[in-house]
Structure 1
Amino acid sequence: MIAMLKTVNEKETKGLSTRLLSGSLSRLSLLSLKILVQQLYDRIKDSIASLEHIQYLKKKQQNYKLNEKTIDVPMTIFCHQNDRKRKVGRGSLRKSVWPVPRLEAIFLPEFSNNSRITEKDFLILNCIGKGTFGKIYRVCLKFDRNFLFAMKKQLKSEILTRNAIQQVKDEALVHKSLSDGVFIAKCYASWQSRTHLFTVLQYATGYGDLFMLWRDYGPFAEDTLRIYAAEIAFALDYIHRNNIAYRDLKMENIVLDLDGHILIIDFGFAKKLTNGERTRTVCGTLQYMAPEIAKGKFYGREVDWWSYGVLLHVLNTNSYPFPNRDVTSHIELRYDSYNTPCCEPMLVDLFNKLLSVNIERRIHTFAQVKSHPFFESVNWDDVALKKLVPFAHIEELQRCPSCNSLYDKSVSDFNTTDEEENWAAFEEEYEFNSDDYFHDELQ
């Protein structure tokens, strides 16, 4: 590429030089000669700048693999692009003046109004998801399409209408604080335009999410379940050690990389709980909701281990542990009639202890999970280093796309969609006070 650029620039420069010489010999006016000299100077300057930029990128290529599997990208690689002089689009806020307009200020500092990168640095490839306030796109850098990202684009007017300003700010803040986690999808940057909020996230280029894998290959055998259970537990422990309750663990919020390793996404319900703080906000996905959340009791980070138990139960048995498939509200949830599944005794014991309605008898810490006999064969150092390969077991199974189809009720008791307790459901059914909902009540 550099050689091609040199050839092109040499031809262009040579042409200008020839014209300059010819102009001199033809006794052109002094003004004409001055213009030609300036053009020659500008071309040389642009060529040097282009060569320096390409050399910079090639140097980066030596440190990072430029293929779809490499998603852990330093944002400076395209921040460098913005160091070059260019026109700022109308949607950019990098020329904001003081005082900052309210529509910008209310989203600061989580969403910068003076970002070195903007949406104009990316090329949208396709839409990969739709959220409450906007869509999520698969994107790449315009000047280097080997790097793939997920970009969340949220409409400010919709956020304001739903009174969810603090919710989206908290999500961005929490996600950024957790981005160094081994099994956490990285949050690279967030900024705002006059009309939208933008967040650039790590894009997982694997199978999709855990739900898709389970749908095509489930139920998971114990060896496969053990690997995924270990990675999810490791991720939850990292989240909890950062004093955060995740509150929405489910298959759809776990995506897979090329080797089948997990990445936790979507921190919309995550809550910072420090110094023993507890909350009693009702939120999450109904079928995964812990009893203390549904009953409006104060709770802490331990509720995530209940959801963890439900998740493992579904992956292994193709059914929820409790008869809550048709509920549409947390007040309808039932936590009785639990039937012990027919599986290996150690796994039965793990389910029973994770899904005990009595929290005093329930497993609710990572230390308790690690010490359970079901994980006796797991080397947790290998888990952290991603040495366990879940796809090694998955590939031995026969793909069966219809086995866990949500529309095949004969083999699955799942609804077409999981009912979720969020601000929209409350607004529609309960006419709740949005301030009370979004500003968790702490004791």
Structure 2
Amino acid sequence: MSMTSLTTKSRKPEDVVIEGWLHKRGEHVKNWRPRYFIIFKDGALLGFRSKPKDSVPYPPLNDFMIKEAATMTFEKPRPNMFMVRCLQWTTVIERTFYADSPESRAKWIKAIEDISKRYKDSQDAPVEHMDTNPPTIDEDGEYAGAAHAIMGQPSAGPNHSDIDFRASMISIADTSDAAKRDKITMEDFDFLKVLGKGTFGKVILCKEKREQKLYAIKILKKEVIIAREEVAHTMTENRVLQRCKHPFLTELKYSFQEQWHLCFVMEFANGGELFTHLRKCGTFPESRARFYGAEIVMAIGYLHLNNVVYRDMKELRYSFQTDDRLCFVMEFAIGGDLYYHLNKEVQMNKEGFSEPRARFYGAEIVLALGYLHANNIVYRDLKLENLLLDKDGHIKIADFGLCKEEIKFGDKTSTFCGTPEYLAPEVLEDNDYGRCVDWWGVGVVMYEMMCGRLPFYSKDHNKLFELIMVGDLRFPSKLSQEAKLLLQGLLVKDPAKRTGGGSEDAMEICRQDFFKSVDWEAMYRKEIEPPYKPNVNSETDTSYFDNEFTSQPVQLTPPHKSGHLPTVDEQEEMQSNFTQFSFHNIVGSINRIYEASEEDERMAE
């Protein structure tokens, strides 16, 4: 059980060993913060922004376990400093404090060591010693070294709560006759244009030779993934894409691997990023922001229901690997990203999307995230660049690389990840956090859509983080009261008080006055006409994608630029990281065949 579930109110006064004010140094924003700490007999070290009262049993900002702790003291860069090595959940961490006097520091260290010794004695284990040589300290003081029907359910069949959905998907991919008969490789695709490029590989527009359908294929270099210790994130992305099917998430068609690559074959959303559209508009009208917001809420709500934190989302068609690359075959979102569209709006009209347009996008985003949450997935990297538009103008959330699986309501994770401008306060506070970080992200992107700028911004990341943690929101006068209330609720610093932070998750957001005009069932079925339709000339139109990438030649960078070729043992070791990677979206293919036959029957009638 997490210590955060045990408030000070559930303990008796005699359980307190020591309490009082200390200064704690931040792990990401390197400043000193006053915190009221309490050590309990059971080994809990809890930190609060102010002294807790019996009538306010709120969760602590810091939640450490010191039963097996070690301490160390030093006097620079501040006097009366000490460091504690202890547990946060199951992770060994080190946290630095300073007290007001040497006597105060001595009392805290004695309390910590007494509890640690008592616990070790009870376990009949030797006391762990810590190197007492002071660490090297640099000049900056841093140490070197909508209901379930809307949101969706896991589609594992009867008694799905007793079935390991991930295992069942792998079983389908590995044992079906279709999968054995139709092994996917790069030879099955014609490469057309480069859509994007990053550290781990490229995204290329391609056409599948057999079906003559367009996809976006994400090709990753295995050696880079291993070198940067991103194997776990990559395999998580593959599993999440296989599990999740939702109208506002891009679909995975295949995933496969070749000798040096992993490949994801995804939908192609050629409408571009929402970031691009918003950049052009400045701000969206409220109706447009409402539309997008509704779709986003649906998508993230789905993820949360499935115990997944988003952190960064597209639907997967195939995944496969070559010898040196991982390949994901995805939908092609031809409309581009919202960053492009918003930037265009800002340039033309000096403001963002209208509220109706922002409402539309917001609604689709909420549905998508609600779906992920329903599947216990937290996204964790919502931003305009990850919000694509398909050819009709509907939202497609892209890039699952930072998703976290198996996160239900009340569950926590602690990885510091995401994009700086979109990080939630609880992430910056060095606290464990839950799926509510996604709703903070929704607040940021909807603020951008309607206000034409970020709610908190500075080129200096330390100043930016301070603004996110303690800064006040400001709104343009044109914004409606309903829009202000929605944004204020989504951008609450305390995740426990944030709109969507309770057990109802996306449903609480759907009921906000800003979305009262949204028919959520019709939104989910895509029966509401989008406020904007990308102007694309053909299915291969990439005008909504950055010319910096689309003008590049379509070719894969060969591995081992140094000229060193891996040994057989090295190749086998590399391949062992990506077992059970390949995937063929058989269910999706069957559904499309069935839908096509139904359409033929209707036309025949």
What is the CA–CA distance in structure 1 between the aligned matches of 2:432 and 2:236, rounded to whole Å? 20
Q: Which of the numbers 473, 486, 503 marks the counterpart of 1:350?
A: 486
What is the CA–CA distance in structure 2 between the aligned matches of 1:200 and 1:282, rounded to whole Å? 28
1:189 aligns with 2:254: yes
For 1:153, the aligned partner's letter is I
Task: Give 1:122 deviation, angstroms.
Answer: 0.2
Q: Deviations over 1:206-260 (max 9, x none)?
A: 2211111111124011111111110000111001000000000011101101111
For 1:209, the aligned partner's letter is D
What is the root-mean-square deviation of aligned Cα atoms in Å?
A: 2.5
For 1:189, the aligned partner's letter is Y
Q: Which of the numbers 335, 359, 364 marks the counterpart of 1:231?
A: 364
For 2:527, the aligned partner's letter is K
State whether residues 233 and 366 of structure 1, in contact with CA within 8 Å, keep that contact through their aligned partners in structure 2: yes
State whether residues 421 and 464 of structure 2, in contact with CA within 8 Å, keep that contact through their aligned partners in structure 1: no
Counterpart of 1:441 in structure 2 is none
The 5 A counterparts of 1:241-320 are: 241-274=374-407, 276-320=410-454
Aligned to 2:239, the other structure's residue is in SS state: helix
What is the CA–CA distance in structure 1 between the aligned matches of 2:258 and 2:200, rounded to whole Å? 15
Q: Which of the numbers 194, 198, 212 marks the counterpart of 2:263?
A: 198
Task: Give 1:156 deviation, angstroms.
Answer: 1.1
The 1:262/1:123 distance shift into structure 2, 3 A limit, reads same
Task: Give 1:137 deviation, angstroms.
Answer: 0.3
The 5 A counterparts of 1:6-45 are: none
Task: Give 1:326 deviation, angstroms.
Answer: 3.6
Q: Deviations over 1:112-132 (max 9, x none)?
A: 897711110000001101132
Aligned to 2:218, the other structure's residue is in SS state: strand
What is the CA–CA distance in structure 2 between the aligned matches of 1:293 and 1:109, rounded to whole Å? 36
Aligned to 1:167, the other structure's residue is in SS state: helix
Counterpart of 2:205 in structure 1 is 138
The 1:137/1:110 distance shift into structure 2, 3 A limit, reads farther
State whether residues 151 and 200 of structure 1, in contact with CA within 8 Å, keep that contact through their aligned partners in structure 2: yes
The 5 A counterparts of 1:403-422 are: none
Instruction: Give TM-score scaled by structure 1 length.
Output: 0.61
Q: Which of the numbers 178, 181, 184 marks the counterpart of 1:117?
A: 184
Counterpart of 1:379 in structure 2 is 519
Counterpart of 2:338 in structure 1 is 210
What is the CA–CA distance in structure 2 between the aligned matches of 1:128 and 1:274, rounded to whole Å? 32
Task: Give 1:389 deviation, angstroms.
Answer: 2.2
State whether residues 279 and 300 of structure 1, in contact with CA within 8 Å, keep that contact through their aligned partners in structure 2: yes
Task: Give 1:143 deviation, angstroms.
Answer: 4.2
**Which structure has greater helix proportion?**
1
The 1:236/1:116 distance shift into structure 2, 3 A limit, reads same
What is the CA–CA distance in structure 2 between the aligned matches of 1:393 and 1:138, rounded to whole Å? 21
1:323 aligns with 2:457: yes
Task: Give 1:165 deviation, angstroms.
Answer: 1.2
The 1:331/1:391 distance shift into structure 2, 3 A limit, reads closer
Q: Deviations over 1:153-173 (max 9, x none)?
A: 111111121121111111111
Counterpart of 1:154 in structure 2 is 220
The 1:330/1:110 distance shift into structure 2, 3 A limit, reads farther
Q: Which runs of 5+ in 2 are unaligned?
A: 1-169, 272-334, 347-351, 536-605
State whether residues 124 and 137 of structure 1, in contact with CA within 8 Å, keep that contact through their aligned partners in structure 2: yes
Aligned to 2:255, the other structure's residue is in SS state: strand
Q: Deviations over 1:181-203 (max 9, x none)?
A: 11110011111111111111111
State whether residues 140 and 148 of structure 1, in contact with CA within 8 Å, keep that contact through their aligned partners in structure 2: yes
For 2:413, the aligned partner's letter is T
What is the CA–CA distance in structure 2 between the aligned matches of 1:274 and 1:211, rounded to whole Å? 29
Q: Deviations over 1:70-119 (max 9, x none)?
A: xxxxxxxxxxxxxxxxxxxxxxxxxxxxxxxxxxxxxx999989771111
The 1:392/1:150 distance shift into structure 2, 3 A limit, reads closer
For 1:368, the aligned partner's letter is E
Identical pairs, percent: 35
The 1:329/1:190 distance shift into structure 2, 3 A limit, reads farther
Task: Give 1:388 deviation, angstroms.
Answer: 2.0
Aligned to 1:363, the other structure's residue is in SS state: coil
Task: Give 1:394 deviation, angstroms.
Answer: 8.9
For 1:186, the aligned partner's letter is E
Counterpart of 1:337 in structure 2 is 471
Instruction: Give TM-score scaled by structure 2 length.
Output: 0.45
Q: Which runs of 5+ in 1 are unaligned?
A: 1-107, 396-443
For 2:453, the aligned partner's letter is S
Count of matched residue positions in the alignment of Structure 1 and Structure 2: 286
**Which structure has greater strand proportion?**
2
The 1:129/1:328 distance shift into structure 2, 3 A limit, reads farther
Aligned to 2:457, the other structure's residue is in SS state: coil
State whether residues 228 and 262 of structure 1, in contact with CA within 8 Å, keep that contact through their aligned partners in structure 2: yes
Task: Give 1:263 deviation, angstroms.
Answer: 0.6
State whether residues 314 and 321 of structure 1, in contact with CA within 8 Å, keep that contact through their aligned partners in structure 2: yes
The 1:392/1:321 distance shift into structure 2, 3 A limit, reads closer
The 1:256/1:136 distance shift into structure 2, 3 A limit, reads same
The 5 A counterparts of 1:159-174 are: 159-174=225-240
State whether residues 322 and 335 of structure 1, in contact with CA within 8 Å, keep that contact through their aligned partners in structure 2: no
State whether residues 184 and 265 of structure 1, in contact with CA within 8 Å, keep that contact through their aligned partners in structure 2: yes
Counterpart of 2:530 in structure 1 is 390
Q: Deviations over 1:14-58 (max 9, x none)?
A: xxxxxxxxxxxxxxxxxxxxxxxxxxxxxxxxxxxxxxxxxxxxx
For 1:203, the aligned partner's letter is F
1:366 aligns with 2:509: no
The 1:220/1:144 distance shift into structure 2, 3 A limit, reads same
What is the CA–CA distance in structure 2 between the aligned matches of 1:172 and 1:328, rounded to whole Å? 34
For 1:222, the aligned partner's letter is E
For 1:215, the aligned partner's letter is N
Counterpart of 1:86 in structure 2 is none
